[in-house]
Amino acid sequence: MEEVEAKAAKILRQRTRQRIAKNGLEYSMPSNVNLTSIYDTGVIAILRASSSLALSQAAEALRDGGICAIEVTLTTPGALQVIEQVRLALGESVLFGAGSVLDADSARAAILAGAQFIVSPSCSVKVIELCRCYTIPVFPGAYTPTEIVTAWEAGANMVKIFPASVGGPEMIKALKAPLPHIAMMPVGGIEINNTASFISAGASAVGVGSALVNEQLLNQGSYAEITARAQRFLQEVRRGREKS
């Protein structure tokens, strides 16, 4: 059974290489490089954009502000097509991941569409195992110590603590006390005024949604404001790391 699964994973990886090569994208074993970029900046932007044009423009604004990792949630209509189109447009200058991934089939579809990392609101060992086969960074969601340890031992690169708005920075600090070796990324309720507190409490990165990019900003074409917000979030990450 394990031999069959290994062969299947190999075939899927080959298909991914072929698809990316066909579309003119560079294929590499990206896990370590992508993880380093995410850790260095400390922010993943969470976007819900229904068109590749809106996402491309928002991504460029975020990149200009210093944020290189963008999560496109699968709850967005046509999310996989959007990811594929934007990756073709922007190449390797921005990391695009898929969020709200609930099962292995969805994770596989996202990876084949070009997703460079996978984020889930829950802890699915099957999703983690699939991503490890592809050497794609995976950030499963968890809330309790048991869930967090389960995700980490299954191979998570970083554990998404969700919803972080419930426990706040104090919860991250409490969790890191017995689990200092586990990289954590709080998501939910992250604002400019609490980012430094989450980071100084022990978070490796934060996931930011509407406080960074929202429908109003996209509809108004306020890309300069998105760039400015990105810069402020990164400043707060640096300030938090100086405190820790």
139's tokens: 């950030």
The helix-helix angle for 104-112 and 125-134 (nearest 10°) equals 30
Task: Report the distance separating Cα 175 and Cα 220, nearest Å.
Answer: 40
The SS3 call for residue 10 is helix
Catalytic residue among 60, 84, 160, 176: 160
Residue 74 corresponds to which tokens in the numbers above?
Answer: 């699968």
Helices (H) and strands (E) in the chain, counts: 11, 9
97 within 8 A of 117, measured Cβ to Cβ: yes
Asked if 208 and 42 touch (Cβ cutoff 8 Å), the reply is: no
Residue of 71, 84, 176, 236 marked catalytic: 71
> Vertex 33, ends 29 and 36: CA angle to 5°?
150
Tell the burial category of 48 from Cβ atoms under 10 Å away from its Cβ (0-12, 13-18, 19+).
buried
CA–CA separation, 213 vs 60, rounded Å?
Answer: 12
- In the annotation, is 71 catalytic? yes
Catalytic (active-site) positions: 71, 160
